[in-house]
């Protein structure tokens, strides 16, 4: 049995704290009897929202892109049968599917996928999950883990699924993570390409005419999406007219951004300005935070063409539009300003 030692950042997340430490886990060579030829593993990327978060929950368009630098991975192994086991290595959790608490998102996606594939649940399989996507920071960790699981099971049972099918299954579990999700996370992650997304409408794939560079800075603060979305919803209920106005402003910005990204020789300076404008409205919506502002300011000072928070807000990640020349300086400035993680990615 091949044994490799893999270093994993372990994150145990409670609403108020994040602990990061390193653990050693064993990666086993596949040895599923009778299924040696079957593919037993799959991955899924992270994502960031470029424009339109929150407004998308209220029917406006949003834009999101996959982030391939971070990935969730699901691997199936046979084991002596004491039930289907879930091993969440990053969380150091190992439990039987049958013992999972109600509304456990991992148990839900496994059961939904088995139902969809019309396969009986086996008693001698282990699903091992690892991820380099930070939890609860707007990079789509939950949707990516669910997507990797659906893909791994579909391949294991030789039942290829379309990106639409994967996305629809994952959406069911996003409801546990997010309450009233727009569906943008499962869509961009299942399709693994830039998307222009309107809730309830068929996905629109985007053509990125001039690839551009994003620097993503992590505040290190966990921000449960359902709380931010719920808080905003109560403020919207109290004053729908004002909030609908904000969402319309974001919608206009998102539509302009799409035109720029898709037209030849994209005006990236203008795109950066639109990111700033989108962020200003998000500030008025009350979903920024001092740490996000600190990182956004650092990005501007280091020469970003534009910057904004990305995802639910209150914490999580921000994004800055860079050029290949400025990306390094912006990444350094974000780290100096207190970012706990920085990713440089190319959108294409
Ligand atoms: O979970 P996050 O941080 O990627 O945020 C999701 C984006 C929201 O628009 C805030 C919610 C949604 O369901 O679209």
Residue 330's CATH number: 3.30.70.890
Q: Which comes out higher in pLDDT, residue 140 or 39? A: 140
| Ligand 1 atom index nearest CA of 54 | 9
Best residue among 61, 251, 312, 314 to mutate for probing ligand 1, ranked by most atoms within 8 Å of CB: 312
Whole-number Å distance, alpha carbon 84 to ligand 1 midpoint, is 31
Residue with tokens 């883990």, as numbered in its chain: 145
CA-based Rg of the chain, rounded to a whole angstrom? Answer: 20
- Could you tell me if residue 16 is inside a domain? no
- Could you tell me if residue 27 is inside a domain? no
List the CATH number of the domain containing 92: 3.30.230.10
Q: Which of 205, 220, 254 is the last residue of a domain?
A: 205
Q: What is the mean pLDDT of residues 62-78?
A: 97
The pLDDT of residue 34: 52
Best residue among 172, 174, 229, 230 to mutate for probing ligand 1, ranked by most atoms within 8 Å of CB: 229
pLDDT tens per residue across span 144-186: 999 999 999 999 999 999 999 999 999 999 998 787 899 999 9
Give yes or no: residues 234 and 161 share one domain. Answer: no
How far is the C-alpha of 246 from the C-alpha of 56, rounded, in Å? 12
Give yes or no: residues 158 and 194 share one domain. Answer: yes
Whole-number Å distance, alpha carbon 312 to ligand 1 midpoint, is 5
How far is the C-alpha of 223 from the C-alpha of 54, rounded, in Å? 14
Residue 317's alpha-carbon distances to 63, 174, 240, 295, 313, in angstroms, are 16, 19, 27, 9, 8
| Ligand 1 atom index nearest CA of 181 | 13
Give yes or no: residues 57 and 163 share one domain. Answer: yes
| 81 pLDDT tier (thresholds 50, 70, 90) | confident
Give yes or no: residues 226 and 199 share one domain. Answer: no
Q: Would you state the structure tokens that stand for residue 286, as one six-digit string?
A: 């009350």
Give yes or no: residues 54 and 106 share one domain. Answer: yes
Neighbour count for residue 192 (Cβ, 10 Å):
15
CA proximity to 77, closest of 146, 152, 167: 152
The pLDDT of residue 37: 61
Domain count, the chain: 2
Give yes or no: residues 117 and 245 share one domain. Answer: no
How far is the C-alpha of 145 from the C-alpha of 148, rounded, in Å? 5
- Could you tell me if residue 74 is inside a domain? yes
End-to-end CA distance of the chain: 40
Q: Which of 154, 181, 205 is the last residue of a domain?
A: 205
- Could you tell me if residue 183 is inside a domain? yes
Q: Which residues line ligand 1 (CB under 6 A)?
A: 49, 53-54, 56-57, 138, 140, 178, 181-182, 184-185, 225, 229, 311-312, 316
Above 50 in pLDDT, residue 79? yes
Give the active site residue among 82, 94, 158, 185.
185
Q: Which of 205, 228, 250 is the last residue of a domain?
A: 205
* Residue range of the domain that includes 107: 36-205
- Could you tell me if residue 5 is inside a domain? no
Buried b (16+ CB within 10 A) or exposed e, 227-238: ebbeebbeebee
Give yes or no: residues 303 and 249 share one domain. Answer: yes
Give yes or no: residues 216 and 201 share one domain. Answer: no
- Could you tell me if residue 4 is inside a domain? no
Give yes or no: residues 220 and 133 share one domain. Answer: no
Whole-number Å distance, alpha carbon 190 to ligand 1 midpoint, is 16
The pLDDT of residue 20: 25
Whole-number Å distance, alpha carbon 138 to ligand 1 midpoint, is 7
**207 SS3 class:** coil
Non-local (6+) Cβ contacts of 13 within 8 A are 135, 136, 222
Give yes or no: residues 196 and 227 share one domain. Answer: no
How far is the C-alpha of 154 from the C-alpha of 164, rounded, in Å? 13
- Could you tell me if residue 232 is inside a domain? yes
Give yes or no: residues 247 and 126 share one domain. Answer: no
Residue 111's alpha-carbon distances to 89, 114, 249, in angstroms, are 20, 5, 41
Annotation marks residue 185 as catalytic = yes
pLDDT tens per residue across span 293-305: 999 999 999 999 9
- What pTM value is reported for the model? 0.88
Give yes or no: residues 153 and 181 share one domain. Answer: yes
Residue with tokens 């990182």, as numbered in its chain: 295
């Amino acid at each position: 049995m091949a044994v490799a030692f893999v270093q994993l950042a372990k994150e145990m997340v409670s609403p108020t704290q994040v602990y990061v430490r390193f653990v050693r886990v064993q990666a086993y060579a596949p040895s599923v009897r009778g299924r040696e030829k079957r593919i037993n593993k799959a991955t899924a990327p992270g994502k960031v929202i470029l424009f339109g978060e929150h407004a998308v929950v209220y029917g406006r368009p949003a834009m999101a892109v996959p982030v391939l630098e971070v990935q969730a991975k699901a691997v199936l192994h046979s084991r002596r049968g004491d039930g289907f086991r879930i091993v969440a290595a990053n969380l150091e959790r190992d439990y039987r599917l049958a013992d999972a608490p109600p509304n456990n998102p991992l148990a839900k996606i496994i059961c939904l996928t088995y139902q969809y594939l019309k396969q009986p649940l086996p008693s001698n399989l282990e699903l091992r999950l690892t991820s380099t996507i930070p939890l609860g920071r707007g990079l789509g960790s939950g949707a990516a883990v669910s997507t990797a699981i659906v893909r791994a099971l579909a391949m294991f049972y030789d039942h290829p699924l379309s990106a639409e099918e994967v996305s629809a299954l994952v959406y069911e579990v996003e409801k546990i993570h997010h309450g009233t999700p727009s569906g943008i996370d499962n869509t961009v992650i299942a399709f693994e390409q830039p998307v222009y997304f309107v809730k309830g409408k068929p996905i629109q794939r985007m053509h990125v005419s001039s690839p551009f560079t994003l620097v993503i800075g992590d505040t290190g603060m966990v921000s449960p999406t359902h709380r931010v979305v719920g808080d905003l919803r109560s403020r919207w209920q109290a004053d729908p007219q004002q909030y609908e106005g904000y969402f319309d402003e974001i919608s206009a910005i998102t539509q302009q951004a799409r035109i720029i990204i898709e037209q030849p020789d994209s005006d990236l300076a203008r795109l950066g300005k639109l990111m700033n404008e989108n962020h200003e409205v998000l500030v008025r919506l009350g979903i920024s935070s001092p740490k996000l502002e600190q990182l956004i300011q650092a990005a501007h000072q280091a020469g970003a063409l534009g910057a904004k928070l990305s995802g639910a807000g209150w914490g999580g990640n921000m994004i800055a539009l860079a050029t290949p020349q400025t990306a390094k300086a912006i990444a350094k400035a974000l780290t100096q300003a207190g970012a706990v993680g920085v990713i440089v990615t190319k959108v294409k």
